[in-house]
Structure 1
Amino acid sequence: MGSSRAALGIGVVAGVGRPGPSRIAAPTPEGLLDVGALATTENTAFADLLTHPTLDALLAAGRGAWSDVLGWLRERLADPARIGPFLLPPHGVTPVLPFTVADYVDFYACEQHAMNGSEILRPGTARTAPNWRHLPVAYHGRAGTVVVSGTPVVRPRGQRAAGDWGPTRQLDVEAELGFVCGGPPRPAGEPVPIDEALDHVFGVVLLNDWSARDIQSFESRPLGPMLGKSFATAISAWVTPLDALAGAWVDPPPRDPEPLPYLRGKADRGLDVTMEVRVGGTLVSSPPAADLYWTPAQLVAHLTSNGASLRPGDLLGSGTVSGGRREQWGSFLELSWGGVDPVALDDGTTRTYLEDGDEVVITATFPGPDGARLALPEVRNRVLPAR
């Protein structure tokens, strides 16, 4: 991915150190910073938000508090001598899921992925469903099986066809951006206008929406995916605040037809994030998130347009990110074209779908100030055999 430096991130770790099950931390070149201890020592006005065992209180506090905390944190991270006494021990701490996932909704926001999927699964039919260019299509996932980077993923079992039950033979990766929502809860019946939508997005994570394609295919007629998706969704351990991506905003792609008014506004902009997917150390794909047809603000506006509530900790997935070339496709469904065109790995083996023992790593960079590239925290998981 070339030379880059880590973007600002904040998360939660558990392990040795001060009493308590977990604490809020931030990665630095020198080590993990105990954010809550530093804020308490300095008697900041927002110290109470940073001494919780999760990011939940910070997410609920809203954009004003986020700006205060992140401005303070940037200043402290720029002074290694000042934060030195608050670095956690180099061993014995482990990142954990940084916030309580309230709801998880996975969108289908990439046009190229939608077209590829249609051509693979329904050759000769329309390149996208009739409604796809009119609204951001999505399904409700399972919040309880969202896991943090580093968590092993057990190969799921299920019905692969009529009378055929067993471990999935088509375990897949989906390279996505995840948007972590926050701010005061938006009660039911009060849609979020598109130009207020980003006030409800605290930050970004990389997301792997693990999929069992054979189980998904059999169960998704006529309704949407359930067991083919619900066994695991992985996110990076550190949340990158949306403000840290200020230099990554880009105009959305051309749209035809024009979206309805509730999906139009100044906040309708995409993010120039370049992702990389590696399996067993081999770079298999470099999906460009700037190509997403539907943008983060549109996802929030559409989700709440019927009056659905929005809560701190809601997690919105972009859906698989894929570009126009094979080396930019963000899933093995596409990379192997439904299993007929194997992907070569550097060790001489090939993959149509993932095998037991495979380690999948998703990384990403985006443009920062002064032409620098900043890196989002990775999401990394290893496949374990079915139980």
Structure 2
Amino acid sequence: MSRDLVSADHPFGPQTLAFGVFSTDANAPRVGVRLGDDVIDVSTLAGAAGREDLAAAWATPSLNAFLALGHEVWADARAWLTETLGAAVEGADDRRAIPSNWVSSVQPDGVAGEGAGAGAGVDALAAHRHSLEDVTLHLPIEVADYVDFYASAHHASNVGKIFRPDNAALPPNWKHLPIGYHGRAGTVVVDGTDITRPTGQRKAPADPAPTFGPSIRLDIEAELGYVVGGATTMGSRVSVDEAAQHIFGVVILNDWSARDIQAWEYVPLGPFLGKSFGTSISAWVTPLAAFDSARVALPREEGDPEVLDYLRGGEGDGVGAAFGLDIHVEVSLNGTVISRPENRDMYWSPAQMLAHMTVNGASLRNGDLFGSGTISGAEKPTRGSLLELSWSGTEPLTLDDGSTRGFLEDGDTVTMTAWAPGPDGTRVGLGQVSGTITPAT
């Protein structure tokens, strides 16, 4: 297969069309769409096609301007890109699927139309196409606000057993509302960014007084993050049924956690310095529209309480507006796969999280980001944090090199990848998020 063509079953094929921000030696950061192992400069692509509204939004160093255009524009842009980029897909019925009104203006040799032959559409992309090897990827959004939820019943139960062994594993409110905390937008970083080991107060139960120093129980949390657009006004609400109009896309998210700092500080107001030192997200934002084939019903057990009306939503297509997503996550530590969490196990849906986040009248801003909370399943190999995998360090993991880990050591690299089922047996990619721990300063 020619490099100019993309396999129809590539995880970043036309079924995905993930957005990111990239730069080259010659060009400042701007929006791109991943196609196979290339990045398409969609700002110049749209400009050549006369789509000035999109070109202007995509010529910026973040997705925020595009997010501000709203759901109808997102859908229109996806439809246009699907048609346009279809010419570069292996097995496409029409290699000249790119609209003829702009082919002549972008072909490198200036020849277009009927004389260009069956390869015209592929050739026309050449001026806008960059190999991933030749670009630098940046944080895809300017994060307006960051909220992290706690949506896995298995994770919440495990944490309850570890932190509060003499109490019920789940607090009494947990199955009535999506619990969350407000994080720090300024320390959200992109895939590949090093994470400095945080320093703070620590006090083990047997210690007579707190001490100060680098965290010695540094952890990960395998999550998904949801990117929000379509700003709202203060005092308004977004319902479960309206949530998909505001959730633009999905990233992989690692909520790095200093468990010793967290344990000492979190009563009575919850996480603070144990979380705010760093949150990593993938460079690619995969549109929510790409996950239509991955929608699943939420897991519920007999005896679970009925949620209040504002968290219900309509029934819709069988799974309803409060749907889960069948996204498969893999977590590696220094090259050893240590966990494979399944997002379909999450108790609360992204739509419910967004509805709860705004039910008090809190406004949304373009570029808001909210995390799902750690994705964990019932079985040990599906737990999404070292806290659970090593059971608070009492059952250390053995890596492929023979070393063991209860929590992270300096120099450790954690990489998370994810994918979801797409249409016609394809896969929808989310890329990866990776970070390496550097010593405390």
Tell whether the structures are fold-level matches, with TM greater than 0.5.
Answer: yes
Q: 1:121 aligns with which of 163, 172, 194?
A: 163
- Provide the identity percentage: 51
Kindly indicate whether residue 311 of structure 2 is the aligned counterpart of residue 263 of structure 1: yes
Q: Looking at both structures, which has the greater relative contact order when contacts are Cα pairs under 8 Å and sequence separation is at least 6?
A: 1
Q: Which amino acid aligns with 1:105?
A: V
> What's the TM-score once normalised by structure 2's chain length?
0.84
| Unmatched 5+ stretches in structure 2 | 1-8, 89-121, 204-208, 315-320
Change (3 A) 1:301 1:90: closer
Q: 1:53 aligns with which of 58, 61, 70?
A: 61
Q: 1:284 aligns with which of 327, 335, 338?
A: 338
Change (3 A) 1:250 1:380: same
1:221-260 pair list within 5 angstroms? 221-254=267-300, 256-260=304-308
Change (3 A) 1:374 1:167: same
The match for 1:66 is 74
Kindly indicate whether residue 379 of structure 2 is the aligned counterpart of residue 379 of structure 1: no
1:320-359 pair list within 5 angstroms? 320-359=374-413
Deviation of the 1:194 alpha carbon: 1.3
Change (3 A) 1:275 1:157: same
Deviation of the 1:236 alpha carbon: 0.4
Deviation of the 1:90 alpha carbon: 5.6
The match for 1:9 is 18
Deviation of the 1:29 alpha carbon: 2.5
CA-to-aligned-CA distance 1:254-278 (integer Å, 9 cap, x gap): 1510100000013111001111100
Q: Which amino acid aligns with 1:111?
A: A
Deviation of the 1:15 alpha carbon: 3.5
1:130-145 pair list within 5 angstroms? 130-145=172-187
- Cα RMSD of the aligned pairs, angstroms, is 1.4
Of the structure 1 ranges 129-138 and 90-99, higher mean CA displacement relative to structure 2 is found in 90-99
Deviation of the 1:109 alpha carbon: 0.5
The match for 2:46 is 39
Of the structure 1 ranges 263-272 and 136-145, higher mean CA displacement relative to structure 2 is found in 263-272
CA-to-aligned-CA distance 1:60-103 (integer Å, 9 cap, x gap): 11111001111222233322313222123665521111111110
| Number of residue pairs the alignment of both structures matches | 382
Cα separation, 2, equivalents of 1:90 and 1:206: 19
Cα separation, 1, equivalents of 2:253 and 2:128: 30
Q: Which amino acid aligns with 1:228?
A: G
Cα separation, 1, equivalents of 2:11 and 2:129: 20
Asked if structure 1 preserves the Cα contact closer than 8 Å seen for 2:290 and 2:428, the reply is: no
Cα separation, 2, equivalents of 1:90 and 1:316: 27
Asked if structure 1 preserves the Cα contact closer than 8 Å seen for 2:10 and 2:36, the reply is: no
CA-to-aligned-CA distance 1:226-271 (integer Å, 9 cap, x gap): 1100000000001000001111100111151010000001311100
SS at match of 1:134: coil
Q: Which amino acid aligns with 1:382?
A: T
Kindly indicate whether residue 224 of structure 2 is the aligned counterpart of residue 172 of structure 1: no
Cα separation, 2, equivalents of 1:377 and 1:91: 15
Q: 1:108 aligns with which of 140, 147, 150?
A: 150
Cα separation, 1, equivalents of 2:42 and 2:175: 43
CA-to-aligned-CA distance 1:263-307 (integer Å, 9 cap, x gap): 001311100111110001111001111011110110010000011
Cα separation, 2, equivalents of 1:5 and 1:296: 23
Q: Which amino acid aligns with 2:74?
A: W
Asked if structure 1 preserves the Cα contact closer than 8 Å seen for 2:148 and 2:370, the reply is: yes
Asked if structure 2 preserves the Cα contact closer than 8 Å seen for 1:357 and 1:384, the reply is: yes
Of the structure 1 ranges 79-88 and 124-133, higher mean CA displacement relative to structure 2 is found in 79-88
> What's the TM-score once normalised by structure 1's chain length?
0.96
Of the structure 1 ranges 161-170 and 125-134, higher mean CA displacement relative to structure 2 is found in 161-170
CA-to-aligned-CA distance 1:283-337 (integer Å, 9 cap, x gap): 1001111011110110010000011111111101000000000000000000000
Kindly indicate whether residue 417 of structure 2 is the aligned counterpart of residue 370 of structure 1: no
SS at match of 1:79: helix
Change (3 A) 1:155 1:93: same
The match for 2:266 is 220
Q: Which amino acid aligns with 2:377?
A: G
Deviation of the 1:371 alpha carbon: 2.1
SS at match of 1:144: helix
Change (3 A) 1:59 1:261: same
Cα separation, 2, equivalents of 1:30 and 1:240: 15
The match for 1:298 is 352
Change (3 A) 1:90 1:137: closer
Kindly indicate whether residue 439 of structure 2 is the aligned counterpart of residue 361 of structure 1: no
Cα separation, 2, equivalents of 1:362 and 1:89: 22
Asked if structure 2 preserves the Cα contact closer than 8 Å seen for 1:4 and 1:365, the reply is: no
Cα separation, 2, equivalents of 1:79 and 1:155: 47
Q: Which has the larger radius of gyration?
A: 2
The match for 1:77 is 85
SS at match of 1:195: coil
Asked if structure 1 preserves the Cα contact closer than 8 Å seen for 2:323 and 2:349, the reply is: yes
Q: 1:182 aligns with which of 203, 206, 229?
A: 229
Cα separation, 1, equivalents of 2:130 and 2:215: 41
Asked if structure 1 preserves the Cα contact closer than 8 Å seen for 2:21 and 2:137, the reply is: yes
